[in-house]
């Protein structure tokens, strides 16, 4: 109710009660005067708060730090130094409204806008704490004791959130580029782009002098095989010496177990083949096959850091891993056959070239199986947990412990579906002069080997875009 309304009502009451008691008239006049004074005081307070809020808005407009926010709020409070708690709240509300309008008008990013809001709330909280503690906040040079520490905490959180957002955006962009099989490019500043272009030119010159091939071509990819092989040899030399020793001990242990089974049954020859050599061919070849499968399939993950290098592909890494272990087990063959022959336990092959060719072909089959397993594992990460079970099942049906001629006629067809059984029996046929397999088919073995190689290369090509570099 305004003062004019009160005065009008007072006059009406006075006219209606003109015959009343003079004391009553005096009391009504006193009430009217009191109401008028109170209303005037409230209007003055509202006017002062509005003036203070206006000064506060102009002082805070350009503030983008805790010190600037503090100066703007203190200027607002200095415009109305004797305001009550309610008056100061109106000032703070006006500050917040003006800040929101400024942020919307300037199009400030959400992260920066949230930082500005938190700085204002922090400054208000510190000021109110000191005001209620009896501290004169309008003194020259005043600043809350913990202003710098609290502001540093807010800015640190703002920077950390910005870095996390940028890292997430970079990961998403890199993942998308890998999925689309395109180069991942990073936006550079003009002077950095010039330096990168110069660096690329010099690197291209180094590659041209070293390999004679331009980066990104088939020749450059083939040229990466040699460095990858040397790298794996260095890794084996520095970290896996026990593994190299076990590559000799493992086949020796397995051939001892196979031979002991035959010796316990009183068998010293299997279809004209002496048991130790028969066991050596089965044990060493299959362990080589197993290592080629597992090393090739796990190389997709183990060597992800190398895929960041130009001209290095997952297929090249897998082929290097498989070829390396084929070479290692050819050396293991040479050691075991040489030592065994010197001890009179192992016979020498009658056709060296044929025996070596079948060993290499079995190793190639292992590499193809490794490519297939690794390609599946890229999309289904738990598949490699089942790989040992699959490998053990293949071992039973692959003529490692016996050949198909030892089985009854009605069961042979179940074992001869495995192309690896044909390969193992062809290997023994090339090694021994006294044994020639009637069940093994060279055409079936070679056809299956080519099919596995094409299937492995095709699946690797499909899975390549899902191999994430580190």
Kindly report, residue by residue over 69-100, the tens digit of the pLDDT. 888 888 888 877 777 888 888 888 888 888 88
Confidence of residue 208 (pLDDT cuts 50, 70, 90): low
**What's the average model confidence in pLDDT over 359-363?**
93
CA atoms within 13 A on the CB side of 217: 11
Confidence of residue 37 (pLDDT cuts 50, 70, 90): very low
Residue count (the chain): 470
Scan for tokens 């070293």, then name that residue: 210
pLDDT value, residue 301: 66
* pLDDT reading at 57 higher than 70: no
| 236 contacts: CB under 8 Å, gap ≥ 6 | 243, 244, 324
Least confident of 13-17, 47-51, 451-455: 47-51
Least confident of 27-41, 188-202, 296-310: 27-41
pTM of the model: 0.53
CB-neighbour burial class of residue 180 (10 A; exposed 0-12, middle 13-18, buried 19+):
exposed
Distance CA 10, CA 153 (A): 61
Confidence of residue 426 (pLDDT cuts 50, 70, 90): very high
pLDDT value, residue 4: 57
pLDDT value, residue 165: 86
| 32 contacts: CB under 8 Å, gap ≥ 6 | 6, 7, 10
Closest to 255 measured CA to CA, from 278, 279, 275, 274:
279
Helix (H, G, I), strand (E, B) or coil at 440: coil
Percent of the chain scored above 70 by pLDDT?
Answer: 75
- The pLDDT tens digits of the residues spanning 92-146 come to 888 888 888 888 888 888 888 888 888 888 888 888 888 888 888 888 888 888 8
Distance CA 58, CA 94 (A): 11
Token pair, residue 166, equals 């940028």
Percent of the chain scored above 90 by pLDDT?
Answer: 8
DSSP structure class, residue 299: H
| 323 contacts: CB under 8 Å, gap ≥ 6 | 229, 367
- The pLDDT tens digits of the residues spanning 233-261 come to 777 666 556 666 666 676 777 767 777 77
CA distances from 252 to 237, 273, 355 (A): 22, 18, 19
pLDDT value, residue 305: 64
pLDDT value, residue 241: 62
Confidence of residue 445 (pLDDT cuts 50, 70, 90): very high
* pLDDT reading at 212 higher than 90: no
**What's the average model confidence in pLDDT over 192-211?**
74
pLDDT value, residue 356: 92
Distance CA 254, CA 280 (A): 8
Name the residue with higher pLDDT: 12 or 49: 12
pLDDT value, residue 46: 47
**What's the average model confidence in pLDDT over 363-378?**
88
pLDDT value, residue 357: 93
Averaged pLDDT of the chain: 77
Distance CA 61, CA 99 (A): 7
* pLDDT reading at 11 higher than 60: no
Least confident of 70-84, 124-138, 166-180, 202-216: 202-216
Our CA angle for 387, 393, 399, nearest 5°, is 125
Helix (H, G, I), strand (E, B) or coil at 129: helix
pLDDT value, residue 302: 66
Highest mean pLDDT among 173-187, 299-313, 319-333, 421-435: 421-435
* pLDDT reading at 287 higher than 90: no
* pLDDT reading at 217 higher than 70: no
Name the residue with higher pLDDT: 252 or 215: 252
CA atoms within 13 A on the CB side of 163: 6
pLDDT value, residue 214: 58
* pLDDT reading at 5 higher than 80: no
* pLDDT reading at 312 higher than 50: yes
Confidence of residue 42 (pLDDT cuts 50, 70, 90): very low
pLDDT value, residue 210: 57
* pLDDT reading at 349 higher than 80: yes
pLDDT value, residue 206: 63
């Amino acid at each position: 109710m305004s003062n004019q309304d009160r005065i009008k009502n007072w006059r009406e009451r006075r006219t209606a009660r003109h015959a009343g008691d003079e004391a009553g008239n005096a009391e009504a006049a006193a009430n009217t005067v009191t109401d008028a004074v109170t209303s005037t005081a409230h209007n003055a307070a509202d006017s002062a708060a509005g003036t203070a809020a206006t000064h506060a808005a102009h002082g805070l407009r350009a503030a983008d730090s805790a010190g600037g926010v503090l100066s703007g709020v203190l200027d607002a409070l200095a415009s109305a130094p004797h305001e009550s708690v309610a008056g100061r709240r109106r000032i703070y509300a006006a500050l917040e409204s003006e800040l929101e309008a400024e942020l919307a008008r300037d199009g400030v990013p959400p992260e920066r806008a949230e930082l500005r809001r938190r700085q204002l709330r922090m400054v208000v909280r510190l000021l109110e704490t000191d005001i209620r503690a009896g501290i004169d906040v309008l003194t020259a040079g005043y600043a809350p004791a913990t202003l710098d520490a609290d502001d540093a905490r807010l800015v640190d959180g703002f920077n950390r959130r910005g870095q996390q957002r940028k890292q997430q955006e970079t990961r998403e962009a890199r993942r998308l580029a890998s999925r689309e099989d395109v180069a991942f490019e990073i936006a550079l500043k003009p002077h950095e782009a010039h330096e990168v272009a110069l660096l690329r030119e010099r690197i291209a010159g180094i590659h041209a002098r070293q390999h004679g091939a331009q980066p990104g071509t088939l020749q450059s990819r083939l040229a990466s095989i040699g460095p990858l092989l040397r790298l794996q040899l260095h890794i084996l030399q520095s970290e896996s010496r026990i593994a190299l020793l076990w590559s000799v001990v493992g086949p020796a242990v397995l051939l001892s177990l196979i031979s002991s089974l035959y010796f316990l049954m009183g068998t010293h020859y299997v279809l004209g083949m002496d048991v130790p050599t028969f066991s050596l061919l089965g044990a060493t070849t299959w362990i080589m096959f197993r290592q080629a499968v597992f090393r090739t399939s796990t190389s997709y993950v183990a060597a992800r850091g190398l895929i960041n290098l130009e001209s290095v592909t997952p297929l090249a890494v897998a082929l290097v891993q498989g070829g390396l272990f084929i070479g290692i087990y050819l050396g293991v063959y040479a050691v075991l056959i040489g030592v065994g022959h010197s001890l009179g336990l192992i016979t020498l092959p009658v056709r060296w070239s044929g025996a070596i060719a079948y060993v290499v072909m079995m190793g190639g089959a292992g590499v193809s199986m490794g490519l297939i397993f690794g390609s599946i594992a890229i999309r289904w990460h738990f598949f490699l947990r089942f790989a040992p079970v699959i490998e053990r099942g293949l071992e039973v049906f692959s003529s490692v412990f016996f050949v198909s001629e030892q089985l009854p006629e009605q069961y042979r067809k179940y074992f001869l579906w495995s192309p690896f059984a044909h390969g193992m029996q062809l290997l023994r046929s090339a090694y021994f002069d006294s044994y020639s397999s009637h069940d093994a088919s060279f055409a079936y073995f070679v056809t299956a080997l080519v099919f596995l190689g094409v299937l492995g290369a095709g699946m690797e090509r499909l899975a390549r875009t899902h191999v994430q570099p580190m």
